[in-house]
Amino acid sequence: MNTEKKVQTTSQRWIGYLGYRKELEVMDCTIRDGGLMNSSRFEDKIVRAVYDACGDANIDYMEIGYKNSKEIYSVDKFGAWRFCAEDDVNRIIGDNKRNVKIAVMADAEKCEYKTDIIEKSQSPIDVIRVATYIHQIPLALDMIKDATDKGYETTVNLMAVSTVREAELDEGLEMLADSDVGTIYLVDSFGSLYCEQIRYMMNKYIKIAGMAGKRIGIHAHNNLQLAFANTVEAINSGANLVDGTLAGLGRGAGNCPLEMLVGFLHNPKYRMRPLLECVEKHIEPLRKQLGWGFDYPYMMTGFLNNHPRSAMEYNENPEKRGKIVDFYDNIMR
C-alpha cells in the first residue's frame, strides 16, 4: 500500500469557472445505475452505443454493470449487466477496444467476489467498485484486498452517508484510508444532501482519506434537483473522480447528467457531441418506458432522507402514479 501522504491545498481544489484540473477524471454510470430501472436489461446495441460514445467523448471510465451473485439475482429476471460475465463484456468491446476503462460494481453481501471476480489478466474489466454500507466495511475491506491482489484498480462507494452518525463515519473513513483502495466516494444515495453538506463532508473525506493518499470521488442523485450542483460543489472542494450518466439516467430521480458535467469541466479533452448523439438516438427514447428523473415522490423521499424505493414502487403502479398528494399523505403518516 502506498503510505505517502499527499496534502491537497485549497488552491489545488478550486478550478474556477474557466480552468480545469488535468488530474480530474470522469466516470459514466449510465448502464450500471440505469439498470436499476429495468433490471439491467439493456440491449447490446445500447450498451455498445454508450461505450462508443464514451470512447468518442474521451470519458475516462464506463461502469458497465454489476458483479452480483446469481444465487441472489435470478438470471430469468435480470439481464446480463447485473452479472457482467467476461464473455458479455468482451462481446460489447469486440474488436473496437476504446481508450475507456471498464468498471463494474460489486455490492458487499451481494457478490461472490472470490469466484465471480477473476484475475485481471483474464478479464476485460479494469476497475472493481466496491459498494458498502457503514456496517459492511469489514467485508468491503476483504473485497478491496481481493480485487487489488487480482490486479484491479479499486474504488469504494460508502453508501447512505446522510444517515450515518459522524463518529461512525470518521471511523469508517479511517479504516478505508488504511486499505489498498485507490478512490473513496462520497455518495448521496438518497439525493438528500445540500451543497453546504457536500462541502462539509468533502472536507472531512479529504482530511481523513485524501491526506492518506486516496483520491476522493462524488456520486450524486437528483431527488432534490441538486445532483449537478452538488457535483460541482464536490469538484470545487477537491473531488478528482466524478460520476455522471447520460441524460441523468439512473435509479429513481436519476443522477448528475454526464453532458452537463462535461460542459462544466471545460477540459478540452472531453467532447460533448458524441454524448448528445447517444442521448438523442438511444437514451431519450427510453425515458417513457423507464420513467427516471425528477418527480414529486422522489422529492419527498429526498426531503425525508429516505431510500426512494417507496416512490419507485408508487410510480410503477399506473393507478397511483400522478397522485402526488396521496403519496405525500401516506409517507408523512
Amino acid at 218: I
- Rounded Cα distance, 318 and 250, in Å: 20
Tell me: pLDDT of 1 over 80.
Answer: no
What value does the mean pLDDT take over residues 228-235?
Answer: 97
Whether pTM exceeds 0.85: yes
- Rounded Cα distance, 270 and 62, in Å: 14
CA 135 to chain centre: 20
- Rounded Cα distance, 298 and 248, in Å: 14
Task: Locate 80 and state its grid cell.
Answer: 446480463
Tell me: pLDDT of 9 over 60.
Answer: no
Strands (E), 51-182: 61-66, 101-107, 127-132, 153-158
Tell me: pLDDT of 157 over 50.
Answer: yes
Do 81 and 65 contact (CB within 8 A), yes or no? Answer: yes
How would residue 3 be classed by pLDDT, with cut points 50, 70 and 90?
very low
What value does the mean pLDDT take over residues 67-79?
Answer: 97
CA 174 to chain centre: 22
Tell me: pLDDT of 91 over 60.
Answer: yes
Tell me: pLDDT of 179 over 50.
Answer: yes
More confident residue, 21 or 208: 208
Amino acid at 54: C
- DSSP SS3 for 166: helix
What is the reported pLDDT for 16? 59
Tell me: pLDDT of 142 over 70.
Answer: yes
What value does the mean pLDDT take over residues 206-222?
Answer: 96
- Rounded Cα distance, 70 and 111, in Å: 9
CA 139 to chain centre: 20
Do 198 and 188 contact (CB within 8 A), yes or no? Answer: yes
Residue 137: closest CA among 172, 171, 109, 168: 172
What is the reported pLDDT for 72? 96
Torsion 113-185-37-278 (CA) sign: negative
183 CB burial (10 A radius; 0-12, 13-18, 19+): buried
How would residue 18 be classed by pLDDT, with cut points 50, 70 and 90?
low
Cβ neighbors of 217 (< 8 A, separation 6 or more) are: 27, 155, 183, 184, 185, 186, 239, 240, 241, 242, 243
- DSSP SS3 for 207: helix
Average pLDDT for the chain: 93
- Rounded Cα distance, 34 and 169, in Å: 28
How would residue 331 be classed by pLDDT, with cut points 50, 70 and 90?
confident
